[in-house]
Amino acid sequence: MNLLPTLMLGSLAPGDGIDVGVLMAVAGVVIIFGAFMVLARRYKRCPSNRILIIYGKTSGGRSAKTLHGGGAFVWPLIQNYDFLSLDPMQIETPLEGALSLENIRVSVPSVFTVAIGTATEQMNNAAVRLLGLSTAGIMKQAEDIIFGQLRQVIAGMRIEEINRDRDSFLGRIQENLEPELEKIGLILINVNIKDITDESGYIEAIGRKAASEAVQQALIDVAQQERHGSIGVAEAGQEREIRVAQAEKQRDIGTAEASRERAVRLAELEKEKVIGERQANYEQESAVRDAEREMRVRVAAANALAIAGENEAKASIAGANAELQVREAEAFQLGESRRRQADAAVREAQYIAEAKAAEAEGTKREAETRAQLESVAKAEKAKTIVAAEAEAERLRILARGEADAIFAKLDAEARGNFEVLAKKGQGLEQIVRACGGAPEAFQLLMLEHIEAISETAAKAISNIKFDKVIVWDGGGAGGDGAGSGKGGAAGFIKSMAGCLPPALQIMKDIGGVEMPEYIGKLVPDVVAKESPESDEAAEQSPVE
């Protein structure tokens, strides 16, 4: 195009009639257009997936000018340009035999995805370190950096941390690797850990352990659910049986209560009938029975009051003794406390005297010793006072407890005796009312003891050997001749017979039992005479 105006000008002769000025204008336009085209070809636009690097003579004394997006003019002769791709690069790192913190060799095959960064500093570093390198060369540099940093990260972690906390492991890898990659203009896009194994099988053992624990936990959960189900079924059955049993119990209780109320009502009606009949029979003797009953009740009440008074007096004595023990304990406490206070004061005075003696020497160490002695003395004093007060309080509590126990025991005995006598009086009152009078009741009560009385009397004469009894007959000596009828065996028999009437009277008075007439008969109008002449008549008159 630059030769065209020249050829055109050369082919035209001056005599052709063409204006030279027009030709010069056309030539200038052509030249300007050509220069514009040349300049346009030196303006370089940067695609979004590349970095434009302009090197040569750049402003600011920099070795290169980097640009991502947009465009820039590249001066001919003094500048040149090149592009770096921003496409991600996947780098496989089959790392094997890396030592962990426990010195166990670990294999961590991984895939790292890296690319050239678009930050200003990262593009400048890439322009300096990676310009002119192929993709394989860039990946080789990144791979060496990744291997080194990955080994460093593994060396600072335990196998359990690497295997269990993958996020922490990846975080440490990014933390260590990204600054190193930025030094050559690369950034870390992604880290994919394919697997983690070790030569000793530790990770596999951990996995088996976790799987076993998971299986065991699942079995435990299943067993617990089955147990809950069994327990629920058992509880439902138990609740049903309990409700059935309660219903049956209520039914049986209702039936038993109805039967009991019927029997009680019939017994009450029968009792009212019997009481009415007896009340009609005993109306005439009610005044006498009431008087005797009231007398016996008063006697029983008086006895009860007397026993209650004795018990109350015993309780008062016990209370006084307890109060005396309490006061003795308090006095002992006061004396012991004052004695210990005095001992503590003496010790305190001794310690203070020693401290003052140490202070007189004027040394700092002895002054500190005095302060320590004073604190020890005060602590000892306080400890002694507290111990004395605690001991006194313990003695006071023991004394009060013993006093309360004695008072409660005597009060319970008094109440028990009072209740016994009161119940006994009520029982005697009912017996007197049922028997129709005090004499009848007395006879009834004595009949309960007639067997014991008879047994006692039989034991009294059981050792007498009647076959060995020898009666010495003086032949009327002493005025008791054969003619008097008092000598010999006959007199002995009559003497024994004379002892029977009092016994017969006792049997009748106590039990209301009358002996046959051939044993003897009581004569109420016989009066014993005190004169010696009437002794024989007195002995023979009761028995016919």
pLDDT in tens, the chain (544 residues): 444 444 444 444 444 555 788 888 888 888 888 877 877 777 888 888 888 888 887 777 677 888 888 888 788 788 888 888 999 999 998 888 888 888 888 888 999 999 999 898 988 888 888 888 898 999 999 999 999 999 999 888 888 888 778 888 888 998 999 999 999 999 999 998 888 887 777 766 776 777 777 878 887 888 888 888 888 888 888 888 898 888 888 888 888 888 888 888 888 888 888 887 777 777 767 666 776 777 777 777 777 777 877 777 777 787 777 777 777 777 777 777 777 777 777 777 777 777 776 666 666 666 666 677 777 777 777 778 888 788 878 888 888 888 888 888 888 888 888 888 888 778 877 777 777 777 777 776 776 777 777 777 777 666 666 555 565 555 544 444 444 545 555 666 556 555 555 555 555 555 555 555 544 555 554 444 444 444 444 444 443 3
As a dihedral over the C-alpha atoms of residue 117, residue 123, residue 129, residue 132, rounded to 10 degrees, the angle is 100
Give the percent of the chain with pLDDT over 70: 75
Domain 87-200 in CATH 3.30.479.30: yes
Residue at 507: amino acid letter: M
Kindly report the pTM of this predicted structure: 0.36
Residue at 330: amino acid letter: E
pLDDT of residue 159: 82
The helix-helix angle for 166-182 and 120-129 (nearest 10°) equals 70
Residue whose C-alpha is closest to residue 480's, from 494, 463, 467: 494
Residue 158 DSSP SS3: coil
| DSSP line for 64-92 | EEEESSSEEE--TTTEEEEEEE---EEEE
Mark out the alpha helices in 361-487 (DSSP H runs). Answer: 364-435, 438-447, 450-461
Please give the Cα distance from 110 to 182 (Å, whole number).
Answer: 20
pLDDT of residue 370: 67
pLDDT in tens, 406-428: 888 888 888 888 888 888 778 87
Measured between alpha carbons, how far is residue 245 from residues 241, 251, 256, 258, 260 in Å? 6, 10, 16, 20, 22
The helix-helix angle for 500-511 and 450-461 (nearest 10°) equals 160
Give me 213's structure tokens. Answer: 């624990």
Buried b (16+ CB within 10 A) or exposed e, 10-31: eeeeeeeeeeeeeeeeebeeee
